[in-house]
Structure 1
Amino acid sequence: MKAKSFKYIQLNLVIALAMTLFFSCNNDYNTVNNIDVLANEPAGIADSLNLKYTDSTFLKANLLSPKMHDYSNRNFPFTEFREGVILHIYEGNEKNTVFADYGIVYNDTDIIDLRGNVIIAMSTKDTLFTEQLYYNKENKWLFNNIKATLKSKDYVTNGVGFDSNDDFTNAQILEVTGQFAVTE
């Protein structure tokens, strides 16, 4: 008799559990939508970011940003700096600085996209001004195909497009525009 009552209790528990699951399921549109919203949330958010990169006790770079959003939980992971970014790069006693209103780093492609008031101030007093600039980390190459101005101590060059290696030793403005003085 005890075996039958135990099986009866088990059966009742299974039925109760199934009924609870059945009635607790909800296909409410807002609930389902919230699941999609959560899937789009960043894996992490950092406020007042002050990241320092060192090599052999020497400071090599310092990244500053009011806020960083980490989307490494996506199929195409990226890191976003919606409120701007400042990057100081140190080479010995020289410091180069990159400013941008917005930045995004695509993890899988090693491409950095800087937008809005992009300025690169070099220790050589050369300065690049543009509205968008890409950096290919693998090839160590900066480029764009929009208006850019390169100011140095001797000249100012305006044009559409910019190409350079990361130390600016091969920097060039493409499709140069403006007035030029020519001596014969």
Structure 2
Amino acid sequence: MIKRTTTYIVYLVTAFAVTLCFSCKGKGEEIRKMRIKSDAAIAEGTGINLKYTDSGKVTAHLKTPLLKDFSNASFPYEEFPEGVEVTFIDDDGKENIITSKYAIRYKNTNLIDLQQDVTLFTSDSVTLNAQQLYWDQSSNWIFTDQPYTLITADGSRNDGDLFDSNKDFTNFVSLNNVSKQYVKETTEDQ
């Protein structure tokens, strides 16, 4: 009688285990979807220190305390909720540095939206301050529709309500400017 009861228990446990295995088959994807909220980041990184290279040369250096990757969103993006510092290095080794307290990089458009105390400091000592600044990585174009301040190495200053320029500031458009320019005085003998 004991042997028969033990046999029934073994059959019952085996049947239960087999049923569990077959009922879960193919459900892995559904289970993963339930665990990840559609609006949650699929990856997070802390203490990020990335170097971008092109043909073996470092072209950019990105530092951020926190990176959230939303590649699962219908319009994929990366969020830098605690700020970002990026150093761009040109072919001559000159560095341009940009910082902000918050940033988003949209993967499909290569557009970066920098917000809150944005500062761009160029290798030739030009400083651009704004509350929001966009950078189009595809065309190397910088623009904002917010007030900004541009200060050159000699202290000349330009305040405006709109800024649109290539990365070298050689093609520059601004709206509602108030400027203070320093001009070197020369004598007729020179």
Q: TM-score, normalised by structure 1?
A: 0.75
Identify the residue that residue 99 of structure 2 maps to in structure 1. 99
Tell me, which stretches of 5 or more residues in structure 2 are unaligned? 1-14, 24-32, 183-190
The code of the aligned residue for 2:110 comes to D
Q: SS state of the match for residue 49, structure 1?
A: strand
Residues 64 and 179 (structure 1 numbering): CA distance in 2 closer, same or farther, change over 3 Å?
closer
The code of the aligned residue for 2:69 comes to D
Residues 177 and 36 (structure 1 numbering): CA distance in 2 closer, same or farther, change over 3 Å?
farther
Identify the residue that residue 75 of structure 1 maps to in structure 2. 74
Whether the 8 Å CA contact 1:146–1:160 is kept in 2: the answer is yes
The code of the aligned residue for 2:74 comes to N
Deviation at 1:178, TM superposition (A): 5.7
Deviations 1:102-150 (A, max 9, x none): 0001111221100000000000100100000011222221111111000
Residues 119 and 39 (structure 1 numbering): CA distance in 2 closer, same or farther, change over 3 Å?
same
Whether the 8 Å CA contact 1:149–1:173 is kept in 2: the answer is no
Identify the residue that residue 8 of structure 1 maps to in structure 2. none
After the TM superposition, which segments of 4 or more aligned residues of structure 1 sit over 3 Å from their partners? 34-37, 178-181
Report percent identity of matched pairs: 33
Tell me, which stretches of 5 or more residues in structure 1 are unaligned? 1-12, 22-33
Q: Give the distance between the partners of 1:88 and 1:161, measured in 2 at CA.
A: 24
Deviation at 1:55, TM superposition (A): 2.0
The code of the aligned residue for 2:137 comes to K
Alignment of 1:21-170 (within 5 A): 35=34, 38-91=37-90, 92-154=92-154, 155-170=156-171
Deviation at 1:64, TM superposition (A): 0.4
Alignment of 1:171-182 (within 5 A): 171-177=172-178
Q: Give the distance between the partners of 1:80 and 1:113, measured in 2 at CA.
A: 10
Q: Give the distance between the partners of 2:71 and 2:36, measured in 1 at CA.
A: 16
Residues 36 and 75 (structure 1 numbering): CA distance in 2 closer, same or farther, change over 3 Å?
farther
Deviations 1:140-181 (A, max 9, x none): 211111110000023111111111102222234321036789
How many equivalent pairs are there? 155
Q: Give the distance between the partners of 1:98 and 1:115, measured in 2 at CA.
A: 11
Residues 90 and 145 (structure 1 numbering): CA distance in 2 closer, same or farther, change over 3 Å?
same
The code of the aligned residue for 2:105 comes to V
Q: SS state of the match for residue 146, structure 2?
A: strand
The code of the aligned residue for 1:151 comes to I
Q: TM-score, normalised by structure 2?
A: 0.73
The code of the aligned residue for 2:160 comes to G
Whether the 8 Å CA contact 1:157–1:173 is kept in 2: the answer is no
Deviation at 1:37, TM superposition (A): 6.9
Q: SS state of the match for residue 62, structure 1?
A: strand
